[in-house]
Amino acid sequence: MTYPQLLAQSEWLDLGVAREVLDTQAVVFVATALVVLVLAKFANDLVTSYRLDQELTSHDNKAVGVSFSAFLLGCAIIVWGVVSSPSSALVGMYAGASFWLDLLSTLIWSLIGVALLLVARYINDKLLLPRFSVAKELITDRNVGTGAVLAGSYLGAALVVRVSVMGEGTGVFMTDLGLTLAYFALGQLCLILFGFLYQAVTAYDLHVEIEQDNAAAGISFGGGLIACGILTAGYLDYSPSIPGLALWFVISSILLLACRFIVDKVILPKSSVDEEIRRDQNWGVALIESACVIGVALIIVSSFD
């Protein structure tokens, strides 16, 4: 067979998949996702003490921008999980009955996911940074470090919520909802415990540095939270075992915290990472550390396949 014949019989020139983007049902699902993001914005306005438009435009508050952009991305991650679920219609016995029920299911579970993300915000505000007012740091001080921690907590929680809402389902809505809440609670527990461990291994007081507007400390911690969310979600997607999750959390936390040592001794051997973050407030080093731990988390999760 000649090369042109081989090319003609291959899928290299197939445009079918690309054209599916313009499929009517696909367009409706995209529109639904955009509606969810708009509703998420309004829901965020209801639970915050500030006006988003005013903070972003009149006050040029970059801390709010960092935090809210991660919130929107987290919402999109959750919708992605619902739409890509093996059983996209998760409304119980009606699953798969029609396109419109699938669409309704997507809307319902996406909104549930957004609600869980707002709950995660409240929990993380109180437990990840308990020694000062997060709202004050975000609004009054326009503290980008605080915004970075919130961003990391949003994305870490969103990854876990995505796994929670994208399961195949049991066929009973309330049962599926209960399982989703249980997975969400486990994921939040892992993020909080990781926060305590992270503070324990750093040579500086995380709260003090963030309260002093140290953006590097916030970026470093936020990156660790994202990596923890990746690993926790990866395990929950693979196995529902709670003892297994506990063991996996210990192993993965050790691996993530070991990444700080590797960055310190191998990638940046001439200076201490903790000193660069604490003394110099070097957010470039914080970004390198975050990139390393997030990259390692992605590689570890790929081993499940």
Q: Kindly report, residue by residue over 150-207, the tens digit of the pLDDT.
A: 999 999 999 998 988 875 555 677 888 888 888 889 889 999 999 999 999 888 999 9
* DSSP string over 45-57: HHHSSS-HHIIII
Q: Tell whether 104 is covered by a domain.
A: yes
Span 118-134, average pLDDT: 87
Helix axis angle, 144-165 to 173-201, nearest 10°: 140
Least confident of 28-37, 96-105, 151-160: 96-105
Q: What angle do CA 140, 142, 147 make, to 5 degrees?
A: 125
Q: How many helices (H) and strands (E) does the chain have?
A: 14, 0
Q: How far apart are CA 265 and CA 23, in angstroms?
A: 52
Q: Tell whether 6 is covered by a domain.
A: no
Q: Tell whether 10 is covered by a domain.
A: no
Which residue range forms the structural domain that includes residue 280? 18-302
Q: Tell whether 271 is covered by a domain.
A: yes
**pLDDT tier at 74, thresholds 50, 70, 90:** very high
Q: Tell whether 122 is covered by a domain.
A: yes
Domain count, the chain: 1
Q: How far apart are CA 161 and CA 181, in angstroms?
A: 9
pTM: 0.86
Q: Which of 124, 168, 164, 167 is nearest to 146 (CA)?
A: 124
The predicted pLDDT at position 304 comes to 67
Q: Tell whether 54 is covered by a domain.
A: yes
**pLDDT tier at 106, thresholds 50, 70, 90:** confident
Helix axis angle, 215-238 to 283-302, nearest 10°: 10
Instruction: Decide if pLDDT at 215 tops 90.
Output: yes
Q: Tell whether 145 is covered by a domain.
A: yes
Helix axis angle, 62-83 to 144-165, nearest 10°: 10
Task: Judge whether 128 and 206 are in contact, CB under 8 Å.
Answer: no
